A and B are shown apart, each in its own frame.
Chain A
Amino acid sequence: MSQLPDAYFPSYHASSTTSAREEKNTLSLTRPRYDLSLQTFCPPGRVHELFSDLQYSLLFSSVHFPTGPATPPPPRRPPAMPLPTMTHSSSFLLPSPPADPADAVSYAVVVLNQRLPRFAPLVWTRAELRVCADGGANRVFDGMPDLLPGEDPDEIRERYKPDAIKGDMDSIRPEVKEYYSNLGAKIIDESHDQDTTDLHKCISFITTNPPDPDNSNLCILVLGALGGRFDHEMGNINVLYHFSSIRIVLLSDDSSIFLLPKAHSHEIRVDPSIEGPHCGLIPMGAPSSSTTTTGLRWNLDNTSMSYGGLVSTSNIVDEEKVTVTSDSDLIWTISLRKHA
């Protein structure tokens, strides 16, 4: 194999470690900038094989180039390629939505079978698509009127009506199922599928029926995924890994958590009126050799993290913009402020 000039190697690697990853990739991490220069040297058709998924860095080693000139051009070190940036914001928790059409995000909400957090009505209102996972429908039916005392319960139930109820249907009360069905909610019985969690099924439903097909800026907010049965909580977090290219935020009264996929430069905008200061970065699922942050009280600087070693918890957000870059997928968590 002829030696490739340095110019053809990107300065970073992004490799998919599991094959179970959701391939639908809405992020900007598609092709590195060097594909055009390779096309002039590669036989036609080769380039598509190289860049079909995130494993392109591994494939470079197997590319065969036609023998080049006798004296290869002097190696040119390309400038370090910046990682694609992902920005995160919790503006969906603000009392009124930010008036910034450029940033317009299309929200969907999933309600799992746990007591609703106090901001459930706000988040529900912000969402364009609302899905209940089985017993989550009971929680909406019982819980929304409780969170909006002083209003007529029947009016509230009609207003806070799910678009779809999906799952085993073994927890939803018959009268709740009938009530929402009569109001037009789609009832999707998935009791035959024992291989995926209720949350997984709901995320799949939303990705195949997005609230705004023209807006690729989808963010799925999940209520009831944390706390409760520990295995459920862990299974729900695994769903974030399975759908790593989709923004999914798990919310409880105390915390907000979401995945920071590796090999991205993450910018997390923190609004101190609704969240913080307590935060953490969790190397869930695999150790991280190198994580670097800014904006935290105890920043990481090319620091490694792992269970059994350092896990960044009880950290503090010191600035309104936090940045995180890591070689490994991390779970970001921030505390939510309780309002009087």
Chain B
Amino acid sequence: MPELLPGEDPDEIRERYKPDAIKGDMDSIRPEVKEYYSNLGAKIIDESHDQDTTDLHKCISFITTNPPDPDNSNLCILVLGALGGRFDHEMGNINVLYHFSSIRIVLLSDDSSIFLLPKAHSHEIRVDPSIEGPHCGLIPMGAPSSSTTTTGLRWNLDNTSMSYGGLVSTSNIVDEEKVTVTSDSDLIWTISLRKHA
């Protein structure tokens, strides 16, 4: 955080950007970092006994049991650092989207934003061209899709089937500010994020 906010006092930044909870195996966090945030009141939740779920899965579970606003069911979880890096981690993180398919979870990197479009829903994706696009894709990650229909894309799908080994919609272009997607299968939507000067 201090590196991303140069010109400000690093200590002030660290106090301001303080996590509410730190959850996981605790085998990567530096001891001084753990102590620093613990002293500032962050909950330290050691989950090293649970080897069956990924760190992301554990954090999503934590958030769903301790939602930021219990009166507001309109929760959206933004995840940084889930893409790139070790490929098996990335795939495991995407699987978490499938496990929590009723919760809005967005995986973000410098280049891309991705989220799940659960099947049997009619999806409306509002695209803000000042921050995202135009490159996008629809990925039949876990299973083929016999029928997907879209509007708002340069190459729309019309009751089209998609699968690995067949058509996977990548390097598509968002042509309108509203994109609609309906599919018989869960799909991963991805859109590029604009880099600002």
What separation, in Å, do the CA atoms of A108 and B95 have in the docked complex? 33
Residue pair A232, B142 in contact (C-beta under 8 Å):
no
Q: In the complex, what residues of B have CB within 8 A of residue A311's CB?
A: 91-92, 95
Residues of B close to A282: CB separation below 8 A: 88, 91
Contact residue among A20, A227, A231, A306 (Cβ-Cβ distance under 8 Å from B192)? A231
B23 within 8 Å of A (CB atoms): no
Q: How far does the Cβ of A257 sit from chain B's closest Cβ, in whole Å?
A: 5
The residue that B86 contacts in the complex, of A229, A230, A231, A255, with Cβ under 8 A, is A255
Given known contacts A197-B171, A287-B143, A20 and B111 CB-to-CB distance under 8 angstroms: no
- Among A230, A287, A313, the residue within 8 A (CB) of B137 is A230
- Contact A18/B166 with A231-B137, A287-B142 known, Cβ cut-off 8 Å: yes
Which of chain A's residues have a CB closer than 8 A to the CB of B94?
307
A286 contacts the other chain (CB 8 A): yes
23 contacts between A and B (CB under 8 A): A18-B165, A230-B114, A231-B112, A231-B172, A231-B190, A232-B170, A234-B139, A234-B170, A234-B190, A238-B165, A238-B170, A257-B87, A278-B88, A280-B87, A285-B142, A286-B142, A286-B144, A307-B95, A307-B143, A311-B91, A313-B92, A314-B54, A333-B87
Q: What's the least CB distance linking A191 to chain B, in Å?
A: 13
Assembled-state Cα–Cα distance A255/B137 (Å)? 23
Interface of B toward A, CB cutoff 8 Å: 54, 83-89, 91-92, 94-95, 98-99, 101, 109, 111-112, 114, 135-137, 139-144, 163-168, 170-172, 186, 188, 190, 192
**A314, B89: Cβ atoms closer than 8 Å:** yes
B188 / chain A contacts, CB cutoff of 8 Å:
234
Q: B89 and A329: CB pair below 8 A?
A: no
B91, B101, B166, B171: the one contacting A235 at CB < 8 Å is B171
The 9 closest A-B pairs by CB, nearest first: A307-B142, A285-B164, A231-B137, A280-B88, A313-B92, A235-B170, A230-B112, A255-B87, A308-B98
B111 engages A229 (CB within 8 Å): yes
Which A residues are in CB contact (< 8 Å) with B98? 307-308
Please tell me the number of chain A residues within 8 Å of chain B, measured between CB atoms.
43
A133 within 8 Å of B by Cβ? no
Flag if A235 contacts B168 (CB, 8 Å).
Answer: yes
* Residue of B whose beta carbon sits closest to that of A285: B164
Q: Can you name 18 extra interface pairs (CB under 8 A) apart from A231-B136, A231-B139, A252-B87?
A: A197-B170, A230-B190, A231-B112, A235-B168, A241-B165, A242-B165, A254-B86, A278-B88, A280-B92, A286-B163, A307-B95, A307-B186, A308-B142, A308-B186, A311-B92, A313-B89, A314-B92, A315-B88
* Least CB distance, B11 to chain A, in whole angstroms: 31
Bound CA span A21–B143, Å:
17
B residues less than 8 Å from A293 (CB atoms)? none
Contact A229 B99 (CB under 8 A): no
Contact (Cβ within 8 A) B111 A230: yes
**Does A284 sit within 8 A of B, measured CB to CB?**
yes
Over the window 309-338 of chain A, the binary record of Cβ atoms lying under 8 Å from chain B Cβ atoms (1 yes, 0 no) is 001011100000000000001010101000
Are A254 and B85 interface neighbours, CB within 8 A? yes
Query: Contact between B91 and A254 (Cβ–Cβ < 8 Å)?
Result: no
Instruction: Report the bound CA distance from A335 to B114 in whole Å.
Output: 23
- A254-B85, A308-B142 known; A280-B91 Cβ under 8 A: yes
- A278–B88 Cα distance when bound, in Å, is 8
